[in-house]
Structure 1
Amino acid sequence: MLPPRRLRPFSAATATLALACSSAAHAATTSTTGNASATVLAGAASTAASTSGQGGGATTTTAATARTTGTSTTTPPADMQPDADGVLSDHRYDHTTVTASPMNALRQSVGLSRMPHDAMHTPQNINVVPQVLMQQQNVKSLDEALKNVPGITASVGEGEGGMAGDQFLIRGFQSQNDIYENGLRDFGVYTRDSFDYDHVSVIKGPSSEVFGNGTTGGAINIVTKTPHLGNAYQANFSGGSGSYYRGTLDINQQLTDSIAFRLTGMGNENNVVGRDYIYSHRWGIAPSIAFGLGKKVSFVLEYFHQNDNRIPDYGVPVVYKPGQAIGRPVTEYGVRRTNWYGTTYDQDNSSDDMITGRLTAHVIPILTLYNDMRGGIFHRYFSASQEACSSMAAGTAAYNNNLINGSVPSATCNSDFFSANPASAQVARNGGVGGPEPYRQSDWSIQDVFSGVARFKTGRFRHEVIGGFDIEYVTDHRQNYAYGSNRTSTSLLNPSMYVPGLVLGNCNQYPDRLVNISGVGKKCYKDSDALDVGFFLSDQVWLTDSLSIKAGFRWDNWNSHYSATGGNTAKYPDVHYGQDETTINPSVSVMYTPRSNLMVYFNWSQSTTPLSMYVTNSSEPMNAKNQSAAPERSSLYEIGAKYSAFHDRIGMTAALFRLDKSNSIQTDPTTGDISATSDQERNQGLELSISGTLLPNWMFYGTYALYDPTITKAGSTSSKQGGQIQYVPHNQATAWTSYEIAPRRPWNMTVGGGLTWRQGVWLDQANTARAPATVEFDAMVSHRFNNHWRVAMNAYNLDNRLNYGSLFSNRVTPSIGRSFLFNVSAQY
């Protein structure tokens, strides 16, 4: 038997010193060709000088994609000359030296070889969270970075087995399989720390032609810190509210004229302000080495490890006040936001290791080849209590699962809470089917993406052809545990984590106490694997200097298996399911680029999501009914414009889109079953963004989204015809600004602040439960003692508003309360 786990004390233990930190932005400069005006150069010098004291001021960068945009100079030189990358190209389309603000998201790379251009010249709406923004906000996780992106929602674990970690939705559609790192899929289920991030890109809309199956709402691509020429050393320490202690270190050492080594790392220990008993104790390290820097052939080898011991937070339940048809979080009726309904057994321990190799070879002047490979091993022990506050009908399975010594106090929780004696309300911790039950998970995965980018001419037409293949394999093994008895209910108003007499054992000790899942049974072991083989090809053709068309497709074969074995096999026979899907996903784009800093585009693309994609991050990916279900399919229609103004100091985007999804995949909040429905959904709207240096020393980053999310066909009883898609707000906006006072003076100071706003959202497809709007005000102030030392103070949720971060259909998780974080950093 496993002994009950004791919660760690909330002492201000010193955090493990970290080894990672944000790197300084490095400007890439190239020679100016054609008639680069003196005005541009003067503007570059002026802007760089005016903002250099702000921890990443304006930098002179290269519009690396200008050669493919159709921008021409007045007098073209010889037809074919080597460009800055060593590739022969028409010099009329070569580089132009520009001055880019580090806050201008349009000049950031997307971060993968299959999308070789920056956000400015990629015909799809892309939100980039730049390094300077993450530094000013003191971002510590992927979740915090994505708060700057409209259309991103975090969801909590679901159903039997439960899943926590990073579970994001983009434009209201699940993207738990759509998190990438440097263009390779990150299969792990864990909460990602940001210590090794350079910047984060969110590619909106279906992108299966690039990434493969998935990406219904979009893809999240993390660009990591990698070695560079020159030496740089940085360390910082943070401490503040909630017993928060964090240290990071970032070391870059040049070894030869073309080899460099980099080491980043982190140690972090914190509680959560506004939530009882929730903490995270984690550390990570990410060494990397690069060979051939500045050469035609280069290779980067990276290793990543993160270890995390945290308490999972399933939040607070949604309740229904008598006489009202709309459910709301119980905290909206006066219950304390700090209430946590778990037990001493609850924990989420994860260990994640990835090794990545990335090869780049300019093999011939017109052809560049890439090979990116990753292997990953992920281990996790997860145990959580899923609260439920309901008025259940006598005799139902959920009702019986909440029996306590023959009585049913938790089954009448909702009605008791709104009675004359609300203190009698008891909340269940077993979930709707007696779970979730603890489990131990072990995964490993491997992926290899080989691609080539060829730039050449056929007659008067220029081409950029991108093609290659992608092979990935992932396997998941789980061992379930079981409690010897039901976890007793606890007070809704004053919960206790202690459950006297509760014993946790392995599945062989209590085989009949395992959760009974429809189509699976009460099983001890659950094993899944999936193999995806894909081929992709696209061609961008310039019809004129300014007008180009890009068309491409990807072919995938997705083969997956799922088995549930062990337990009482006489009563519940072992089951084995499989699914084999072949999909083709096309995309077509039309781009008009009259100048290198302006693009108007139209994009149409499709994506597919086989139900069995959720191998590592779904508790029940398949059953007898849905193993033959058709994949979810989505189509995007988008027209947009991107403009980088004032010598790339400010980037602006606007996009109108329509996203249609059929055969919608849903997750049952009670059982965790993934199932395909005949629902059809449509999200359409407008997205705007502006980022950069508005005036000398004044940076700004802002986004706005207006959505019309509609269930156009309710193919299931749990959906409302014409209703609003769950988790998608009608309006959402973010803003962050900072201003540096007296730069390079002893009394210098940088002040900044921002707003995150999300309109209220429906929590279910039936539109019967709703979470209120989120409004959060944050601020920062910093001071530089010299070129090396900086102190800063960040404040979060200044008005201590009760917001809700992670959402699910019958519960929500309160966001952090008012908190302050002090930071000191050194950079040499």
Structure 2
Amino acid sequence: MTIRSRKHTLAAQPLLNQSLLAMAAIGLPLSVQAQAQEKTMAEVKVEAAADVAYKADRASSPKLTAPLVDTPQTITVIKKELLQEQGAASVMEALQNTPGITLQLGENGNTSAGDTFQMRGFSAQSSIFVDGIRDLGAVSRDAFNLEQVEVVKGPAGADIGRGAAAGYINLVSKTPVREDAVSGTVAFTQGGVKRLTADVQRAFGSSGAFRLNLMGSDGSQKGSRALDRESHGIAPSVAWGLGMPTRLYLYSQHIRQDNVPDGAIPSVGMAGFYNGTYPWLAKAQRVDRNNWYGLDGDYEDVKADMVTAKVEHDLTPKTKLTNTTRYGKSKMDRILSGVNAVTALDPANPASWTVARTRQSVLQENRILANTTNIVSEFDAFGVQHTISTGLELLNEEQFTPTRVGLGTASAANLYNPNPKDPLTGFAPYLNGAFSKGETTTVGAYLFDTIKLNEQWLVNAGLRYERYDTETNSATVTAPSTVPVAAHLEKSGNLSSYKTGLVYKPTADGSIYLAYANSKTPPGSANLSLAAQGTNANINSAALKPQTTTNVELGTKWDVIQKQLALTATLYRTTNKDEIPVKIDEVTNTWGQLGKRQVQGVELGAVGQVTKAWSVIAGVAFMDTEIKESNTGAGNNGLGAATRWSPKKTATLWTNYKLNDKLSLGGGARYTGTQYRLVDPTGDAAKTNMPSMPSYTVVDAMAAYQLSKNVSLQLNVYNVFDKFYLSSLNNGGSRFVIGAPRIAKATASFQF
């Protein structure tokens, strides 16, 4: 018997994972074994894809109908192996592996909750998906149950529907496989954080499998001010029919978080700080990074649950039907004391300076019910090869936010020596009857096709049509009355989004493409809450039409070094129109829309293996943002202004080198350019507090040692050079979160 592929594959692909080859060999058809005594046997070809560190050849979404190298979009796949090397425990930490993403803190007194960030100059926290279905809720997402994180940049209305101006993040859940294995980690972070994860996999019967992922974490997050944060997660899943034409998956995830919230620290003492009332604050000392300005009793409770049922059926060898049903619900309940205005009456006595505490409440419930049906098929028609993905999506999303009052009045905190036991008067929280309940129902249909004209030319196209109906019921209470006044608003419409790309392949492993795509963002898209047209420019006004975002992208992708390393380069221009509501008639109180924002830039990336021992993932992004049309000539929305929190340059790098079979060393760096809060090009805006976040570079390092067949040890050192930097700043510039100092994390990993 000759197994040609074993010999030839190893020669052509020296980085092939030998275990995959062994598994393939074990699975030879019984018919071949039955002919073992025959003098002549038919040739058997065994093929196994190389297991390349960091690099993925495809995204999980069935809507992306071609390999990544032939897909005319900017897509980064962050695999779980990379997250394990970095000791990343959250989605936000995972996103640090791709440039062009910046974290946010919140609007003045309202501290943001959960994963809040911008991507390519646009807000993106409402464009997070789990296994292709939108995920709602102001929660900080954990990475314990993630197979990989997929980042798709640029307007993507054809992919996900409304509100996709920046692109989207897709979180891919771990699901059962036919394998008996137990793995886990025990980690300790300097400062007191303890984290435990476990992954149990069991096969049963002829085609079933069970998987259970667990997570527990307790202690202060690295870089915080000794605030206790406790999280627990469980994600059971079971599958039937693996390896069969029909497969059924049932899986769920349940997260509980019990945290002491952090309202950030005052920006007094930072370079660039200015206060017109107390000009001497410009030379004041910076507050201690370990200060906490909250009060005993501040809390944050998070509950997040989702249950999913997925059925896959192979209609033909090249046609697969998938139906997925998901129910998800999350609840955020938080009361905290945030910082606000500083009082510094005596310039000679900093010990007497104080900062006002603002009592804040977040009480919000999110719910989603979704059913999606997708068919992917490959076929030839009229001499042209097609890979088609088509489907139907039914979604019902709901967000309920009651108003809680009676939070009490907190005394001002000493600026340099805050006391969490300071007096709090009038604390008797209750719901006063005011609320906002938004609901959006969506019916969407889509069609994608990758058309292979010949070996050199491909056409990639997609079209989505959806009907949305948004309804907001609310009630307000205006003192001195205690009677709620109800209100009802509705907005519905049809959205059509599309994308098209022409791909030229000079070689089988490279492509050059030109693509065009759009997206639509109707009012209330992010929070399902519509607003009545009032006296200010509210982008959620039910009277407004959807904003339209378009993107032109020229790029190239190459798989080099025997397909072990992927190189990408992208040049793009994104334009958003109709984003600023303007009153055009004072007499009739008529409002119109104008405003045009342009974001353009270049992004370069590399991911994979340079050699068998050397792995790397790197990216750099250059971005320029500008308001091209506006109703004002000055201010943050004025002509020529840039988009706040949008640095011109960001870069990220992580690399790992295996010195031998036991020891590997790794590390990386992250660079973020200056992020401006005040972006008025005329200089007329009042430069109160911090005008910007300075640029910074953070370097991390890692060492791992395989202690035995089943146990490995890992040491991560974050911020090796103890760089002081701001990780986020509020829109008012009065408070910020400091990036983590130099800190170490030790992890023991077990696998049986």
TM-score by length of 2: 0.86
For 2:750, give the aligned amino acid.
A
| Per-residue deviation, residues 124-144 of structure 1 (Å, max 9, x unmatched) | 011111222111111111111
Q: Which letter does structure 1 place at the counterpart of 2:443? A: V
2:444–2:466 CA contact under 8 A, matched in 1: yes
Q: 1:469 corresponds to which residue? A: 392
2: CA distance, partners of 1:290 / 1:665: 49
Q: Which of 500, 505, 511 is the equivalent residue of 1:588?
A: 500
Aligned residue in 2 for 1:364: 316
| Aligned residues of 2:187 and 2:746 also touching (Cα < 8 A) | yes
Q: Match of 2:490?
A: 578
User: What letter is aligned with 1:827?
Assistant: Q
Given candidates 507, 524, 529, the residue that maps to 1:612 is 524
Q: Is residue 53 of structure 2 the alignment partner of residue 102 of structure 1?
A: yes
CA contact under 8 A between 2:10 and 2:16: conserved in structure 1? no
Alignment of structure 1 residues 545-560 onto 2, 5 Å: 545-560=455-470
Q: 1:622 to 1:540 in 2, by over 3 A?
A: same
Amino acid paired to 1:643 = W
Match of 1:386 among 331, 334, 338: 338
**In 2, are the aligned partners of 1:61 and 1:100 still within 8 Å (CA)?**
no
- The residue type equivalent to 1:370 in the other structure is T
Aligned with 2:610: secondary structure?
strand
Instruction: For residue 210 of structure 1, give the secondary structure of its aligned residue in structure 2.
Output: helix
- Provide the secondary structure at the position in 2 that maps to 1:801: coil
Aligned to 1:115, what secondary structure does the other structure show?
Answer: coil
Give 1:97 deviation, angstroms.
5.8
Correspondence for 2:427: 504
Letter in 2 for 1:686: V
Q: Does 1:42 align with 2:15?
A: no
Query: Which secondary structure does the structure 1 equivalent of 2:337 belong to?
Result: coil
C-alpha distance in 2, partners of 1:646/1:37? 20
State the alpha-carbon separation in 2 of the partners of residues 457 and 540 from structure 1: 12
Q: How does 1:347-496 map onto structure 2 within 5 Å? A: 347-389=299-341, 410=342, 413=343, 416=345, 419-430=347-358, 436=360, 438-483=361-406, 485-496=408-419
Q: Distance in 1 between matches of 2:616 and 2:578?
A: 40
2:163 to 182, 189, 214: 214
Aligned partner of 1:298: which letter?
R
| Inter-partner Cα distance in structure 2 for 1:387 and 1:581 | 41
Tell me if structure 2 keeps the 8 A contact 1:546–1:593.
yes
Q: Distance in 2 between matches of 1:677 and 1:156?
A: 28
SS in 2 for 1:642: strand
Cα distance between partner residues in 2 of 1:714 and 1:277: 45
Q: Which amino acid aligns with 1:705?
A: A
User: 1: CA distance between counterparts of 2:179 and 2:282?
Assistant: 55
Which residue, out of 722, 725, 736, partners 1:800? 722
Offset of residue 487 of structure 1: 2.6
Displacement of 1:464: 2.2
Report the Cα offset of residue 561 of structure 1.
1.9
| 465 and 703 in structure 1: CA distance in 2 versus 1, 3 angstrom threshold | same
Q: For residues 54-69 of structure 1, what are the structure 2 equivalents within 5 Å? A: none
Structure 1 residue 677: Cα displacement: 6.9
Partner of 1:561: 471
TM-score (norm 1): 0.79
Distance 2:447 2:565 in 1: 33
Secondary structure at 2:15's aligned position in 1?
helix
Q: Distance in 2 between matches of 1:374 and 1:733?
A: 36
The aligned amino acid for 1:800 is D
What letter is aligned with 1:182?
A: D
Indicate yes or no: 2:642 matched with 1:695: no
Deviation at 1:633, TM superposition (A): 1.7
Match of 1:263 in 2: 212
The question of whether the paired residues in 1 share the 8 Å contact of 2:444 and 2:464 is answered with yes
Q: 1:125 to 1:369 in 2, by over 3 A?
A: same
State the secondary structure of the residue aligned to 1:294.
coil
Rate the CA distance shift 1:374–1:118 in 2: closer, same or farther, 3 A. Answer: farther
* 1:540 paired to 2:450: yes
**How far did residue 318 of structure 1 move?**
4.5
TM-superposition CA deviations, 1:462-495 (whole Å, max 9, x none): 2222221111111122232223643332222222
What's the offset of the Cα at 1:446?
A: 0.6
Kept after mapping to 2: 8 A contact 1:61/1:98: no
AA aligned to 2:724 is L
1:572 to partner: Cα distance? 6.5
The aligned residue for residue 637 of structure 1 is 552
Alpha-carbon shift at residue 353 of structure 1 (Å): 0.6
Give the Cα–Cα distance (whole angstroms) in 1 for the partners of residues 284 and 608 of structure 2. Answer: 38
Q: CA deviation at 1:282?
A: 0.3
Question: How far apart in 1 are the matches of 2:352 and 2:577?
Answer: 45
Whole-Å Cα distance in 2 between the matches of residues 658 and 581 of structure 1?
27
Number of the residue aligned with 2:744: 820
Give the number of equivalent residue pairs. 696
Which 5+ residue runs of structure 1 have no aligned equivalent?
A: 1-30, 63-93, 390-409, 512-522, 667-674
User: Distance in 2 between the 1:775 and 1:427 partners?
Assistant: 30
C-alpha distance after superposition, 1:472-530 (max 9, x if no partner): 1111222322236433322222222334142333446xx5xxxxxxxxxxx62222211
Distance 1:58 1:779 in 2: 30
| 1:128-167 equivalences in 2 (<5 Å) | 128-158=77-107, 162-167=111-116
Q: 1:659–1:683: 8 Å Cα contact kept in structure 2?
A: yes
Q: Residues 141, 761 of structure 1: CA spacing in aligned structure 2 closer, same or farther, 3 A cutoff?
A: same
User: Following the alignment from structure 1 to structure 2, what is the Cα–Cα distance between the partners of residues 812 and 676?
Assistant: 35
Hey, what's the Cα distance between the residues in 2 that align with 1:211 and 1:634?
A: 14
Partner of 2:357, secondary structure, is coil
Alignment of 1:681 with 2:597, yes or no, is: yes
Equivalent position amino acid for 1:779 in 2: A
- Contact kept, 8 Å, 1:273 with 1:819, in 2: the verdict is yes
Q: Distance in 1 between matches of 2:79 and 2:505?
A: 24
Specify the alignment match of 2:708 in structure 1: 786
Cross-structure match for 1:15: none
Cα distance in structure 1, aligned partners of 2:274 and 2:362: 38
Alpha-carbon separation, structure 2, partners of 1:295 and 1:681: 51
The CA distance in 2 between the partners of 1:778 and 1:532, in whole Å, is 44
Counterpart residue identity of residue 47, structure 1: L
Whether the aligned pair in 1 keeps the contact of 2:74 and 2:153 (CA below 8 Å) is yes
One-letter identity of the residue aligned with 2:577 = S
Does 2:664 align with 1:750? yes
1:342 alignment partner AA: G
Q: Deviations over 1:639-676 (max 9, x none)?
A: 1111111222111111111111123379xxxxxxxx99
User: Given the alignment of the two structures, is residue 193 of structure 1 paired with residue 142 of structure 2, yes or no?
Assistant: yes
Q: Which amino acid aligns with 1:681?
A: R
* Contact 1:317 1:330 survives alignment (8 Å): no
Q: Distance in 2 between matches of 1:777 and 1:580?
A: 48
Alpha-carbon offset, residue 100 of structure 1: 4.5
Distance in 2, Cα, partners of 1:229 & 1:118: 25
| Secondary structure of the corresponding residue to residue 524 of structure 1 | strand
1:296 aligns with 2:218: no
Give the drift of 1:323: 9.0
Q: Does 1:763 align with 2:677?
A: yes
Aligned to 1:623: 532
Gaps of at least 5 residues in structure 2 are 25-44, 535-540, 582-590, 682-686
Conservation of the 8 A alpha-carbon contact between 2:644 and 2:676: yes
Instruction: Quote the Cα distance in structure 2 between the aligned partners of 1:752 and 1:59.
Output: 28
CA contact (8 A) 2:378 2:386 kept: yes
Deviation at 1:621, TM superposition (A): 5.0
Distance 1:715 1:43 in 2: 62
- AA aligned opposite 2:700: D
Distance 1:323 1:336, change over 3 A: closer
- Cα shift at 1:714: 3.4
Q: Does structure 2 conserve the Cα–Cα contact (< 8 Å) formed by 1:614 and 1:621?
A: no
What are the Cα deviations for residues 257-300 of structure 1, in whole angstroms up to 9, with x where unaligned?
A: 32111100100012134432433200000011122212222222
Cα distance in 2 for partners of 1:61, 1:614 equals 46
* Counterpart-to-counterpart distance in 1, 2:151 and 2:515: 16
